[in-house]
Amino acid sequence: GGGRGVPVPIPGPRPGPRPQPAAAAAAKANLPGLKEVEDLLNKVFPYADTNKDGFVDRKELGAFFFKTSRRKELTKRKAQNMADEFFTMASLQNVKMTDKGISKKDWVNYQTEQFRRVALVTPPEETRKELAKAVQTYKRMLKDLTEGKERKEEPKKDKGDAGKQVKGDAKSKTSGKDAASAGSKPAKDDVKKGEKKKVKRKMWLPLESDPNLVNNYMRKLGVDTNKFEFHDIFGLTPDGTMHIPTPILAVMLLFPITEASEKARVEEEKKIAESKAKAPEGVYHVTQTVGNACGTIAVLHAVLNNMDRLKPKEGKFFSKFLEETKTMTSKERAKALGESKDLEVEHEVVAKAGKTKANAKEFANLHFIAFIKKNDVLYEMDGRKSMPISHGKTSGASFLEDAFKQVKKYMAYAPKDRRFNVIVLAPKANNQPAAWGGGAGGGGGAPSGGAPDEAAQKERIASLAAMGIPEEAARVALTQTNWSANRAVEFYFANMMG
């Protein structure tokens, strides 16, 4: 896992679910400390702009990161890597760049904007803590710079340096055979450190829980999204899913990993080990070994356990990967997934297309899992667990309700956290207009592309109004976004405020 906080001095967006109504309200609220961060960034900029041309380029930024850091382990090379990452992430967010680098105005705007993005998916108290931490760090940085206390690179010590530091007969202690062997043979601890570096975990960019992105990803990998696609939901209630056609094939949950959820996972794995339980037959499961691959693995679990309905195209990734790995164990499939260059490329493309332009290290505490129905059993499919987890009998009619019961358990682990998101895999909406109420058992909706009934409209307008959005503005935003509450919130804050 990685740190939850915003990295300083390059605050970045916290990737995660697209803003939910409650989360977006936090973005609208005033962020105490943000103005102070902005003022400090303006004061710090001239120290990074060593060319004094009003811009900071990659080389200047790398040098700035190095000299302002108090972390001894941050070498010049690592500092330059940080600078390169800063420019990459800024470019992905369409920050204006010139041959000279980034201007002072864009430098400040980009970094303060990241805190606004954080506020969309983070509890207010967490955002306040991160802002306070940033203020403290920038103040310390500015103090060191104004007092000339910037960090200098320490010279590398060699055997000669070590000998000079020892008084008296230091030379006799490092001379002859011992000195020769010390210079040519690595110490035991050094070998261990080297070995750890060789098995460094592979990391991908994280995915956003955005059905449009996930559908595009599925299509590239072989699923005909004119027939089946992922849908947003409005809540874990019948009203919140009334627009979803049936049958629902899978549920994908994005949730924050917490101490409570980890404790439950460890206890569950312990019970599996003690009972010597075997993985259920006919359920396709992949273990996660690649960092931030959980989104891809959740999609794999959703698709490869519904091949009879989805029927991915021959020769495309899903069909080929299933054929190559169907007789493998979960761990062997994980190895095959990690070695698939085609999948890694497609994953990166869709990850970079996300609105949050995710930084992999900052996404490590959010995790995707899937729920599927197989042989009339509800299974939880998690790459961080050794096998599919059975949650008992289910049916086509009760699958969604049964899956949502498990979703609520995860929500109970972090009741104040808003970084939950759920999308469901089902037929494309315009393929089944009866699901909106034209046939038996339906009611209360409208076909895809149209407005829901008057009661549903009022409910969605009220939900946005409860966040402080004027009712008329809420109605406009909803009509502009096909009555999607989630997208309406985004539309309002992006286009109608101010």
> 454-496, what's its fold?
Helicase, Ruva Protein; domain 3 (1.10.8)
Would residue 256 be called left, alpha or beta, if left means φ above 0 and alpha means ψ between -120 and 50 degrees? beta
> Given this model, what pLDDT does residue 1 score?
30
Report the DSSP beta bridge partners of residue 351.
Answer: none
Beta-carbon contacts of 486 under 8 Å, excluding residues fewer than 6 positions away, are: 18, 19, 20, 21, 232, 234
Q: List the domain boundaries for the chain.
A: 31-147, 211-427, 454-496
Rounded CA gap, 386 and 272, in Å? 9
CA 256 to centroid of chain Cα atoms: 10
Rounded CA gap, 278 and 273, in Å? 9
Shared fold status for 211-427 and 454-496: no
CA torsion through residues 71, 77, 78, 84, sign: positive
Q: Which residues of 370-409 are buried (b: 16+ CB within 10 A; e: fewer)?
A: bbbbbeeebbbbbbebbbbbebeebeeeebbebbbebbee
User: Which residue, 388, 423, 406, 391, is CA-closest to 250?
Assistant: 423
With contact defined as beta carbons under 8 Å apart, do 79 and 63 qualify?
yes
The 8-class DSSP code of residue 390 comes to: E
Structure tokens that stand for 133 in this block: 């931490």
Rounded CA gap, 95 and 242, in Å? 40
The 8-class DSSP code of residue 389 comes to: E
Structure tokens that stand for 383 in this block: 């790459």
Q: Which is the catalytic residue, given 231, 301, 347, 367?
A: 367
Report the DSSP beta bridge partners of residue 422.
Answer: 253
Beta-carbon contacts of 393 under 8 Å, excluding residues fewer than 6 positions away, are: 376, 377, 378
DSSP character string of 267-315: HHHHHHHHHT--PPTT-------SBT-HHHHHHHHHHHT-HHHH-PPTT
Q: Where are the alpha helices (DSSP H) in 7-72?
A: 21-28, 34-48, 58-68
> Given this model, what pLDDT does residue 264 score?
93
Q: Which contiguous run of DSSP H or E holds residue 368?
A: strand 366-374
Match 């698709």 to its residue by tokens.
Answer: 303
Rounded CA gap, 143 and 123, in Å? 31
With contact defined as beta carbons under 8 Å apart, do 354 and 207 qualify?
yes
With contact defined as beta carbons under 8 Å apart, do 131 and 111 qualify?
no
With contact defined as beta carbons under 8 Å apart, do 448 and 457 qualify?
no
Gyration radius (Cα) of the chain, Å: 27
**For residue 209, which phi and psi values (nearest 5 degrees)?**
-85, 65
CATH class of 211-427: alpha beta
Query: What string of pLDDT tens digits covers the 498 residues of the chain?
Result: 322 222 223 333 333 334 444 444 444 445 778 888 889 889 988 988 888 999 999 899 888 888 888 777 778 888 887 787 777 667 656 788 888 999 999 988 888 887 776 676 567 777 788 888 888 888 888 888 888 766 665 544 444 444 444 344 433 333 333 333 333 333 444 444 455 444 566 778 777 788 888 998 999 999 999 999 999 888 888 878 888 888 999 999 999 999 999 999 999 999 999 998 899 999 999 999 988 889 999 999 999 999 999 999 998 999 999 999 999 999 999 999 988 888 888 777 777 766 554 444 445 588 999 999 999 999 999 999 999 999 999 998 899 999 999 999 999 998 888 788 999 999 987 654 333 222 222 233 333 344 677 877 887 788 777 766 788 888 877 877 777 776 677 667 666 655
Report the DSSP beta bridge partners of residue 386.
Answer: none
User: Which residue, 87, 105, 65, is CA-closest to 12?
Assistant: 87
231 catalytically annotated: no
193: three-class secondary structure by DSSP: helix
Cis peptide preceding 427, ω within 30 of 0:
no
The 8-class DSSP code of residue 19 comes to: P
> Given this model, what pLDDT does residue 120 score?
64
Q: Which is the catalytic residue, given 231, 294, 301, 347?
A: 294
> Given this model, what pLDDT does residue 361 score?
44
Rounded CA gap, 234 and 243, in Å? 9
DSSP character string of 63-96: HHHHHH---TT--HHHHHHHHHHHHHHHHHTT--
Rounded CA gap, 86 and 48, in Å? 14
Structure tokens that stand for 330 in this block: 């979960």
347 catalytically annotated: no
171: three-class secondary structure by DSSP: helix
> Given this model, what pLDDT does residue 346 score?
79
Rounded CA gap, 34 and 119, in Å? 11
Structure tokens that stand for 319 in this block: 């069909």
Enter the pTM of the model. 0.52
